[in-house]
A = this chain, B = another copy of it.
Amino acid sequence: MFSPEISNLITQRKDQYLQQLFTLLRQKSISAQNIGVRECSSLLKNMMEDIGINTRLIETDGHPVVYGEVIKDPEAFTLLIYGHYDVQPPDPLDEWLSPPFEPTIRDGKIFCRGAGDNKGQLMAQILAIKTYLDTYGELPINVKMVFEGEEESASANLSSFVEKNKDLLNADLVYTSDGPMHDSGAPFVLLGVRGMLYVELTAKGAKWENHSGNKGNIVPNPAWKLIDLLRTMRDENGRVLIEGFYDNIREPTENEKEIIKGLPFDREQVAEKIGYEQLNMNTEEYYHNLTMEPTFNIAGFTSGYGGEGSKTIIPAQATLKMDMRLVVDQDPDDIYKKFCDHVQKYAPDIEVNHLGDMQPSRTPADQEIVNVVTKAVGESFNQNPVLQPSLGGSLPDYVWTKILGLPSVIVPYANFDEGNHSPNENIGVDNFFDGIRCTCQVIHRLGEYSKQR
C-alpha cells in the first residue's frame, strides 16, 4: 500500500531529518515574550527554500507569517497546510530535566520546547514535501503552507491575514497537524473544534474589606451579587438561561451521530485519565457532551479570604472567570452580546470584561475528501484513525472553514503525552517520522483523488 521508495528514503535520512528538526528547535521563538520569533521566521524560510519550496515572509500587525508554495499547475488540486513556528514560554524552568531549548533524546522521545507544539509536526510536513520531491521529482498536487508566529498568542492576526489574502490562500482542503493523537494511541482525524468565549465578571461591594461583625447586613457582599446573577444565568440542571444562548446550534447530522456512536470509549480508562472515577456516561453521551454541546464553565471564582482558618470579613470584590465552549453555529460575538444584555438586565453594576474568543468550526463528515484523507492516514499508520466530528477544545480552524469556506481536517502527529505548554514537552521520535510518512501518503492519495475529479 505505502510507497517503499518513500519509506526507504525516510529511513536513510533519519539522522539528517532529526538534525534539521533540532536546528529549528534550538531557535527560540516565544511569541508572548517576543523572543527570537523573527529570527525563527527567517530560519524557517531558508530551510523551506533549501527544500525547493517557494517561500516568503508576509508581515502582519504582529509576527510574520511564513508562506510557502509548490505550485504544479494553478488549476490542480491545492492542499493548504497550516502550522505555527512560535512556542510557549518554557517556565517553570527548574522542572525541565534537560535545557528547554536544547533538543535531547531520552526514552525514544525528543525533549524540547516546541518539539510537539508545533515545530516537530511542522517539520514533518516540510520534510514530507522534501521526501516526495526527492523521490518523484514533483508533487501530484499543489501545496501551500501557512506557518504563523502567533498561535501561542491567541492567533491575534491570523484572521485578518486570511481575510487579506483570500486569493493567495485559495485551496481545496486545509490540513493541520497540531495537538496530540487520540488517547488510545490511534491516529486521529478531527473535523472541527469548539469555539470559545472567555469573560471576566467583577462585582464590587464597598471600597474596602469590612469587618463581618461590625458591618454585617450593612455593606453589600460582592460574592453574593455574583451568585445572585449566576442563578439567573443557569438553572440547577446546568441549562443556560441567557436568552438565545442555544439559538444557533447546528443539529448534529445523522452521519455525525453515527460516527459518535462508533467512537472508541473506555469509560474506566477515561475516568482514570481525568481523575474522576464516578464518570457515568456511555459513548454517545460522552462524545455528544464533548463535541456537540456548549459549556458554561467557571474557570475561577475569587473573593475574600482563601487561606487557612477563618477571617471575618465582607469582601470588597468578587471576580469570576468563565469560559464558554461554543459549537457551530454559535457566534462568540453574538453570545457575548447576549451575555452582556443579560448582565445589564439583572445586575447592571457588575462589570463584564471580554478576555478572548474563537469561532467554532466543523467540516461535514460526508464529503468524499474526508474519506480520502482518513483512508490515507489509516494506510500510513497501519491503523484505522478515530474520526471525530469535533475537538472538545479550540483552535483557529474557523479561519479556513468560515472565512475561506474550505473543508478542513486536523490530523495530529504528536504522542498523546507530548506535554505541550508544560515542562519537558516532547515528541516521540517515531511520531516525527510517522508524521513525515503520513503527509506523504495524504499528498499521494489526494493526487489520485484529484485525477479522478
A281 near B: Cβ within 8 Å? yes
A221 touches B293 (CB 8 A): no
In the assembled complex, the CB of A153 is this many whole angstroms from the nearest CB of chain B, namely 12
**Contact status of A274 and B210, CB under 8 A, knowing A218-B279, A286-B218:** yes
A318 near B: Cβ within 8 Å? yes
A300 near B: Cβ within 8 Å? yes
B212 touches A297 (CB 8 A): yes
B314 touches A216 (CB 8 A): no
In the assembled complex, the CB of A15 is this many whole angstroms from the nearest CB of chain B, namely 35
B residues within 8 A CB of A166?
none
Number of interface residues of A (CB under 8 A): 69
Q: Which A residues between 285 and 325 are near B, CB-CB below 8 angstroms?
A: 286, 289-290, 293, 295, 297-306, 309-316, 318-319, 321, 323, 325
1/0 per position for A140-155, CB-CB distance to B under 8 A?
A: 0000000000000000
B298 touches A217 (CB 8 A): no
Counting every copy of the chain, the complex holds 2
A43 near B: Cβ within 8 Å? no
| Stretch from A86-94, A108-116, A375-383, A386-394 forming part of the interface with B | A386-394
A304 touches B309 (CB 8 A): no
B299 touches A301 (CB 8 A): no
| Stretch from A122-130, A224-232, A335-343, A430-438 forming part of the interface with B | A224-232
1/0 per position for A319-333, CB-CB distance to B under 8 A?
A: 101010100000000
B residues within 8 A CB of A220?
276
1/0 per position for A167-196, CB-CB distance to B under 8 A?
A: 000000000000000000000000000101
Among A231, A276, A286, A311, find the residue whose CB has the most chain B CB atoms closer than 10 A: A276
A308 CA / B57 CA spacing, docked (Å): 33
B residues within 8 A CB of A276?
205-207, 218-220
B residues within 8 A CB of A208?
275
A391 CA / B234 CA spacing, docked (Å): 39
Closest 7 CB pairs of A and B: A213-B393, A207-B275, A302-B306, A216-B295, A300-B304, A217-B289, A300-B305
Residues of A within 8 A of B (CB): 194, 196, 198, 200, 205-208, 210-221, 223-224, 227-228, 230-231, 234, 236, 238, 270, 274-276, 279, 281, 286, 289-290, 293, 295, 297-306, 309-316, 318-319, 321, 323, 325, 355-356, 391-394
- Other than the given A300-B306, A301-B318, 14 more pairs (CB < 8 A) read A200-B310, A206-B275, A210-B275, A213-B325, A216-B325, A216-B392, A217-B289, A219-B274, A223-B298, A299-B304, A299-B311, A299-B314, A300-B305, A300-B315
